[in-house]
Homo-oligomer: A and B are copies of this chain.
Amino acid sequence: MDAQLQKLIDKLDTLDFSDMYEGDFYLTWEKSQDDIEAVVTVANALRNLRERNISPRIFDSGLGISVFRDNSTRTRFSFASACNMLGLAVQDLDEKKSQIAHGETVRETATMVSFMADVIGIRDDMYIGEGNKYMHEFMDSIIESKGDGVLAQKPTLVSLQCDIDHPTQSMADLLYIAEKFGGLENLKGKKIAMSWAYSPSYAKPLSVPQAIVGLMTRFGMDVVLAHPEGYDIMPEVEQVAAKNAAASGGTFTKTNDMAEAFKDADIVIPKSWAPFVGMEERTKLYAAGDFDGIDALEQRLLEQNKQHMDWVTTPELMGLTNNAIYMHPLPADIEGVSCEHGEVTNDVFEAHRVGMYREASFKPYAIAAMIFLAKCKDVQGALKALDAQDKQRLMTVK
C-alpha cells in the first residue's frame, strides 16, 4: 500500500469517530475532536487516492440533493465534485421551481425528494436564526420517514453554510493550514487572526468568522477576533470559542484594533461581514415579508461599513505579522481590481493567490470526507478496499 495512505489509515485507527456513521454535519463544535481529525484524515486519504488515479467511488448509483437558498458558484461546484467523486449524481432542489417554504411544506418536500438520496447539501445563510433551523426541520422529517419505513436509507446532511457555521469552508481552511504547518499537531501556539475587513459590495453573513473561531480554537492556537465596534459575532459562538480555547490550551481574545490582531500572527483571515444588529433586523424584515425594507437596510449597512474603510489588508499590515499566511474564502473585494476600496490590496492578494486557490481545492475533499464518514461503517476498511481494488478513475493503458 501507498505509504502516505497507510499513515492516514494508521491515524484513523487511533481515533474514535463512530458517532459520525449515519450522522449529519451541522456545526463543527457539535463534533468531537476525534471526529474533526477523522474528517481531516479521510479528506487527505481521498485526495491521495484520486491523485493516484484510483477512483474513490463508494456508490454505484444514488443522489446528492442540493438546496441553495442563496447564490453560490464555488460551494455548488465543491458539492457537485464531492458527490461525483463518490459516485453520486447531483439533483438540485430549486426553490424557485418548486416553491418550498417553512413548516409543513418543508416536512413533506424533504421526504419526497429523498427516496433515493444519500446526501442532502443545504446552503441557507442569509437570515440569523433561520438557516440552521431550516436544516433541522428538513432532516427531522427525513429521520421520521426513515423510522416510519418510508425511506430505505437516511441521507446525511452536509451543511453548505448556515447562519451560524460554515463547516465545509472552515474544514477546508483547516486542511490547508495543516498542510502548510505539517500537521494538526504543529498548530499549537500559532497565532491566527480572524479580522473584519471593509467591503463595498454587500452585507455578508457572519458564518465565516464564526466558523473560524469555533473551529480553530480547538488546536491550541492563539485565536484573535478583530472587528470594529458593532460588528460582533453571535455571543453563543464566542462562548464556544472560549470554551474550546480553554480545553485545547490555546487562547481566544478579541480586539477592535486590526493591527493588534495582525501583530506576530502566523495566519490572517481578514474578511468582511455585516453588523450583527443589522443581520437581526434583516431577519425581522424577512419574517414580515418586507423586501423593500431589506433593500433599504442593505444600503444602510453598506453606509455603516464605509466608516471603517481603513480595515484593509496592506503590505504594511502584513509586515507586522510573523510572515503570516493570508487566507480568504473567496471571492475577495480587491482594491483596484473589483473595487476602489476593499478588503485587501492587490499586491497582498497576488502574493497569496496560489495559497488561497490551494485552500479552496480542499473543499470538495472536506465535503466528500463528511459523506464518507457518514456512509461507511468501516472507514479504514473502505479505504483499504478502494486502494486494493485499484479502479482507475481515468482509464490508462498499462
Does B148 lie within 8 Å of A357, measured CB to CB?
yes
Does A55 touch B at the CB level, under 8 Å? yes
Smallest CB-CB separation from A354: which chain B residue?
A: B148
Could you say which residues of chain B place their CB within 8 Å of the CB of A99? 71, 73
Smallest CB-CB separation from A383: which chain B residue?
A: B397
Partner of A71, one of B86, B87, B97, B113: B97
With A and B bound together, what is the CA distance between A361 and B87 in angstroms?
A: 22
Does A97 lie within 8 Å of B116, measured CB to CB?
no
Smallest CB-CB separation from A58: which chain B residue?
A: B395
Does A81 lie within 8 Å of B334, measured CB to CB?
no
- Which of A26-34, A182-190, A253-261, A385-393 touches B? A385-393
- For chain A, the bracket of interface size reads 35 or more
A63-B91 contact, Cβ under 8 Å, with A358-B150, A395-B58, A397-B378: no
Does B84 lie within 8 Å of A62, measured CB to CB?
yes
A364-B115 contact, Cβ under 8 Å, with A150-B357, A397-B378: yes
- Which of A101-109, A274-282, A316-324 touches B? A101-109
Could you say which residues of chain B place their CB within 8 Å of the CB of A384? 397
Does A394 touch B at the CB level, under 8 Å? yes
With A and B bound together, what is the CA distance between A97 and B149 in angstroms?
A: 37
Smallest CB-CB separation from A71: which chain B residue?
A: B97
Does A78 touch B at the CB level, under 8 Å? yes
Does A377 lie within 8 Å of B395, measured CB to CB?
no
With A and B bound together, what is the CA distance between A115 and B115 in angstroms?
A: 29
Does A69 touch B at the CB level, under 8 Å? no
With A and B bound together, what is the CA distance between A260 and B302 in angstroms?
A: 65
Shortest Cβ gap from A377 to chain B (Å): 7
Does B354 lie within 8 Å of A375, measured CB to CB?
no
CB-CB contacts below 8 Å: A345-376 with B: 354, 357-358, 360-361, 363-364, 375-376
* Supplied contacts A63-B84, A74-B113, A115-B360, 6 more A-B pairs, CB within 8 Å: A60-B392, A62-B393, A73-B98, A90-B91, A104-B337, A105-B331
Q: Mark A73-88, 1 if CB is under 8 A from B, else 0.
A: 1101110110011110
Shortest Cβ gap from A161 to chain B (Å): 15
A-B contact pairs, 10 of them (CB 8 A): A59-B395, A60-B391, A74-B112, A81-B115, A81-B116, A108-B330, A112-B357, A118-B394, A150-B358, A382-B395
